[in-house]
A and B are shown apart, each in its own frame.
Chain A
Amino acid sequence: MNASKLSKKRKAVTRDVEEEAGVFSGNELNVGDINGALSDNANELSSDEEDSEVELIDDFSDDEDEEEEEELDSDEIPSDGEEPLKKKAGKPAADLEVPTNDESSSEEEAEVNFRIEKDANGNDRYIYDEINPDDNSDYSDVEENANTIGNIPLSFYDQYPHIGYDINGKKIMRPAKGEALDALLDSIEIPKGFTGLTDPSTGKPLELSQDELELLRKVQMNEIPAEGYDPYEPLMEWFSNKQEVMPLSAAPEPKRRFVPSKHEAKRVMKIVKAIREGRILPYKPPSEEKEESLDLVSFDLWADEAERPDHPMHIPAPKLPPPGYEESYHPPPEYLPNNKERKAWEEADPEDREQEYLTTDFGSLRKVPGYGEFVKEKFERCLDLYLAPRVRRSKLNIDPESLLPKLPSPEELKPFPSVCATVFRGHKGRVRSLAVDPTGVWLATGGDDGTVRVWELLTGRQLYSVKVGEEEPVNVVRWRPGKDAVVLAAAAGDDLFLIVPPILDPELEQASLELMDAGWGYAASKPAPKASEEKKTTPPQWVRPSSALADSGVCAVIPLRYVAKSISWHRRGDYFVTVCPGSSTPASMAVAIHTVSKHLTQYPFSRRIKGGGPPQTAHFHPSKPILFVANQRTVRAYDLSRQLLVKIVQPGARWISSFDIHPTSSTASGGDNLIVGSYDRRLLWHDLELSQRPYKTLRYHRKAIRAVKFHPSGRYPLFADASDDGSLQIFHGSVTGDMLSNASIVPLKVLKGHKITGELGVLDLDWHPREAWCVSAGADGTCRLWM
Chain B
Amino acid sequence: MNDRLANAYARAASENRAALVTFVTGGDPTPADTAAVLDALVEGGADVIELGMPFTDPMADGPAIQRANLRALGAGTTTADILGIAKGFRARHPETPLVLMGYANPMVRRGPEWFANAAKEAGVDGVICVDIPSEEDDALGPALREAGIHPIRLATPTTDAARLPAVLDGAGGFLYYVSVAGITGLQQAAQGSIEAAVAKLKAGTDLPVAVGFGVRTPEQAAAIARVADGVVVGSAIVELVAEHGANAAGSVKTYVASLSSAIAAARKEMAA
Q: Do A and B actually bind? A: no
- A-side interface residues toward B, CB under 8 Å? none
